[in-house]
Amino acid sequence: MNYSEKLTHLRPQPSSKSPRSLLAETESDRGRIIQSAAIRRLQQKTQVYPLETNAAVRSRLTHSLEVQQTGRFLAQTILEKLSQENQLGTLGLTGKETVFTNIVEMSCLMHDVGNPPFGHFGEAAISSWIRAKATSCHLSAAGTPSKLFTDTLLPDLAVFEGNAQGLRIIHQLQNLNLTYSQLAALMKYTRPPYQKKPEPADSNYYRKKKPGFYYSETALVDDIQSHLKIKEGCRFPLVYIMEAADDISYCIADLEDAVDKGILSYRDLKYYLQSVWTEYAGSENTYLTNIIDLASSLSKQEPHRFIVKLRTQLVSDLVDYAADRYLQEHQAVFDGTLDEPLIDGDSDQHLALKTLKTIAIRHVFTSKEKETPELRGHSALMGLLDIYQPLLELETEAFTDIVFKDQEHHFLEQRLFHRLSVKQTAAYKRAVSAIDRKAFSLQEQKDLEWYYRARLLIDYISGMTDHFVMEEFQSLSAI
């Protein structure tokens, strides 16, 4: 194992700056990411509670900042353990400790940039709309589809996945030109939507249970794998750290927010923690019970400090466990073949996270405070997609005339097109202009144009904040 082959200063596009140190390049990545619009939009996107007005309740941005800090803590813990075992030099990590930590931190900050408005509910809404409308819209615009469209492009569009969209946003839409290492650290899953999902018994099921990139980013993924010596279907090693940091952070945060909103009382939370833990681990296993008792004893006079104590102890414990697992499975982690999370299913630590997730599913996610605004958001998302549907029904030549010549033959579609983001339309233009006319038949060229057109609409709608969806739907539907 040599991390020198995984940590690189190289980028997909040449940098305007003179060659700099690896540390300087990761600091440049940090600046590009933090100053990007994709990160800023997270402040008005749902974590759990859509359209939330209580500033103390987490948004996607505040959640991502917490994941960033947990990821930093976990990366530093791993490096400290490696240093204690005198392995940093052997692994090619001497002098690269800050680089290692920077890449982890920024992957944690970016891990949710692809999430649409209204979170997973928004993902489902976009996916269902595309599945219902894509075939008929494509037929109107491009005619009888080719095998490329039916076998690859349509299945690719039919599943909206926040992880895949995140890679697309960072590289194609925001055009941040991050280092290959930073891009690789963002990719949790290793298959495109059009590739068959493996069976649970397969050795690569966990890494491929969801799509990790779209057809539109296939060439980029091939490039990343080539530069970092990542085999097909395998992960970049630092992804495991980002994933663990996310698991640790959100499981505790969701319950804390539920208490802040009055959905759960402290008494309710303690009761559910005890009962669900016993359900999963049995009455003889006192791992989580001991942590609950300790947090309770330290917060008798100030009940609101119970979650603070619970979170502090659990984060410390889970980070230490995840770091040990990273080192125990180091070769599989480095190769990207470990097909489970660092906080694995056979451990007390995993059962603790499972307990927290179960309480949220049973007693938080089904609350009216969460479901009512989700239903409003669903109506607005589906309504907006219907409003913009004419763009997908327009014949290929007519749509490209609007995009590249701004001709006024189709007044409705032209006005709808003018509302789209400049960065997103620029990505569409680059993609369509890059279609190799010699490599594809005329029908395949039409299919590819329509595919990138559909991506353009998905990019626009999924990039909206929760509040902007509501405002835009009300504005365009004259409600």
**Distance, CA of 153 to CA of 139 (rounded, Å):** 14
- Catalytic residue selected from 60, 63, 171, 350: 63
Three-state DSSP state, 96: coil
- Catalytic residue selected from 20, 304, 362, 415: 415
Q: Decide if 324 is catalytic.
A: no
Among the listed residues 249, 251, 357, 273, the one whose alpha carbon sits nearest the alpha carbon of residue 265: 273
Question: What does each C-alpha distance from 73 to 80, 227, 375 come to in angstroms?
Answer: 10, 28, 37
Contact 224, 183 (CB under 8 A): yes
The number of residues making up the chain comes to 479
The DSSP symbol for 116 reads -
Name the E strands within 119-222. Answer: none
> How many C-beta atoms surround the C-beta of residue 28 within 10 A?
20
Contact 93, 80 (CB under 8 A): no
CA atoms within 13 A on the CB side of 240: 29
Q: Decide if 111 is catalytic.
A: yes
> How many C-beta atoms surround the C-beta of residue 332 within 10 A?
16
Residue 211 sits at φ, ψ, to 5 deg, of -70, 145
**Distance, CA of 425 to CA of 417 (rounded, Å):** 9
- Catalytic residue selected from 111, 191, 350, 410: 111
Beta-carbon contacts of residue 197 (< 8 Å; ≥ 6 apart): 191, 208, 209
**CB burial class (10 A; 0-12, 13-18, 19+) of residue 76?**
middle
59 forms beta bridges with 46
First to last CA, the chain: 61
**Which element (helix H / strand E) includes 92?**
none
Beta-carbon contacts of residue 415 (< 8 Å; ≥ 6 apart): none
Q: Decide if 120 is catalytic.
A: no
- Catalytic residue selected from 29, 246, 247, 447: 246
421 forms beta bridges with none
Three-state DSSP state, 339: coil
- Catalytic residue selected from 9, 11, 112, 410: 112
Provide the annotated active-site residues: 63, 111-112, 246, 415
